[in-house]
Structure formats: structure tokens, C-alpha cells
Amino acid sequence: MSILQVIEVTKDFGGLRANDNISFSVERGELVGLIGPNGAGKTTLFNCICGYHQVTHGKIIFDGEDITNLRPHEVARRGLARTFQVYLASGDLSVEENIMVGCFMRTKSRHQARHKARELMEKLSLTPLATTLVTDLPVAAQKKVSMATALGTEPKLLLLDEVAAGLNPSEIDEIMESIRHIHEEMGITIILIEHVMELVMRISHRVIVLDSGVKISEGDPATVASDPDVIKAYLGEKFAREQMLQK
């Protein structure tokens, strides 16, 4: 059974159509990449799924329930969490305290929230930074804190929005391993928006491509990387040739 169904979702902002009749499903246990050029409508679609934007037309079914146009906290309580491109952490909270904020979704106990936050810090190699203010951390560590905070809500499905953006190659490898751990060891289904194609193509089971608000391709990474429409709209001939040489 699919954990998420996006059914003919359209989102208009006045005269601008950001998402145009988009449909796809995500199975439990999948890791799905969502790619496309800037302005393709990827983050808008995440915002529609999570309740930050009201859907103009269509339905969103999560875990068998219609969640279309529910408020963000109502969506989160049902087990769907997300990160954001820019992590706006509270400047006067430490790493541990920021993660505890997510944990309070499931408990009112400060003791239980702290215990859960420490478990998540251990899993994402953040324990040495527990007392550091998030705003004092390098970008890569801030990205991991945002992931841990989202995990504190105990999601069944996690949406990751450009968690590798602005990172160097070694940091990308580290984030990739964190995503693998969340997916494989914690058993959480993941959809990720990403422009770092090496990451997307290496860890995704399936890739969905948007361009100008429309879904133009969907399939396994190799199939999508060789799709002429995707090459033209986003990847470019150079990337396609490199993918062929790696086969």
C-alpha cells in the first residue's frame, strides 16, 4: 500500500501555476528523488503536501487518509515531517534544545524529549555538539540538526529539501550516509529534493522530474538520466554522457 498519493495536484498563485496536475505515489520504504531546474515547483509541491500551501485542485492521501489542505501541525501529527532549504534555528537554543522542540510533538515530558533528542544526536553524530548554539555551527552540521529535529516528531515519511545544498564533497558524503541511516536503519520513507545529482542518483530508488510545474519524467535513476526530455530541461548532455560512461 502506498504511504503517499499525490493525485492531480495543482497550485495556483494568482495567474501563476506553480504545480500543474501532478500525480505520483510513494511506497512504504522507498527513497524517492524529486529533481528539476530552479522554479520547477518542487518546494511548492512539498509545501502543498505538508499544508503550508492550500491546494488549488487535487488530493493528497497520506497513510490512507485524505490530508488535503490540513494545517501543517495536523499533517505533522499524522507522521509526515519535512526540512527546509534554510534552517531557521532559534539563536538562543543549543543543538540538543533545538532537537527537543521536534520531540515535543510526541511528548509533554521534558525528560522524555531530552532522552529522545540524545538518541537522535547519537544516530546522526551530533552528540559532541549538544551544547553548541545551532547558529554557531557550520552549514553541514546545521543541516543535520534540521534532520534530527524533524526526526524528533517520529515521522513515517520524511521530506528533505536540499539538505546537500552549499556543502563540499566530503560533507555531501557525510549527509548521504546520514540519509542512508535514516532510511535503512530507522526504516523511514524519504522523498528528497536535491540539485546534487551524484547524491540523488546514488541513493534514490526512483526519481521524479518536474519542469515548469509539470511532471515530465519518472522512473529508476538510469532511466531518468537517459530521458531526452530530462536532459534537455535539466541534466544537460554532459551529465548524460558521464552517466553512460559509468555503466
The string of pLDDT tens digits covering residues 8-23 is 999 999 989 999 999 9
The three-state secondary structure class of 40 is coil
Note whether 72 and 168 are same-domain residues.
Answer: yes
Query: Is residue 32 over pLDDT 90?
Result: yes
Question: Are residues 164 and 234 both part of a single domain?
Answer: yes
pLDDT tens by residue, 45-77? 999 999 999 999 999 999 999 999 999 999 999
Instruction: Kindly state whether residues 103 and 143 are assigned to the same domain.
Output: yes
Query: Which residue bears the cell 510526541?
Result: 106
d(Cα 158, Cα 83) in Å, to the nearest integer?
8
- 113 and 37 in a common domain: no
Please say which residue of 124, 153, 182 terminates a domain: 153
**Better-predicted residue by pLDDT, 241 or 233:** 233
Residues 120 and 182 in one domain: no
